[in-house]
Amino acid sequence: MSPLAEAPPPPGRVLISEEELKARIGELGGAIARDYERQSPVVVGVLQGAFLFMADLIRAIPIDLMTDFIGVSSYGIGTRSSGAVRLVSDLSMSIEDRHVLIVEDIVDTGLTLSYLKRTLEARHPTSVRVCVLVDKIERREIELALDYVGFTIPNVFVVGYGFDHAGYYRNLRYIAALEPVAGAPERPPLVPPRARMSGA
């Protein structure tokens, strides 16, 4: 018989509560619905981390839309991005002449999301915009326009609500630091940044 897998350590302090997630996702859904009214966007979720955010977000967008998923990878089993981005699963539909909204769980260096935007823009959509749940702006390495932002957090590795470490923690209802980090603020601002649009 195989030995039982070692239990993961408990997550650290809560950064974003379940209530804060629900409230902010409702605000994002309203903003997206206003901006895409009568455009029937294709909402593209980035696997695997964004699947919970994607599910809750589309239910907060009261307009006609379509959904699809794409998979990219830049993490191994550690807590830092490897910097090497690769496509691991592709869309099931054409996005030519469609308005596309990428839904991503987190942006830090910006390398993964930049690669993904270039990949989709090469398929001749009408537009490509980005909605991210969590922005870790301290780690940004390249210029990257974000159209909708849920929360900005300090430079800590987070788990919960779709975020994992070695496959664990995705099912938590909140977002937490993986472990306490000395000097990091106790919580992000309770009033999250307003949705930002980059223009056309």
Catalytic residues: 108
What sections of the chain are H helices per DSSP? 18-35, 51-58, 111-121
Whole-number Å distance between alpha carbons of 55 and 180: 29
Residue 175: phi and psi, rounded to 5, are: -110, 130
Whole-number Å distance between alpha carbons of 194 and 85: 29
Cβ count near 134 (within 10 Å): 24
Joined tokens for residue 66: 């379509």
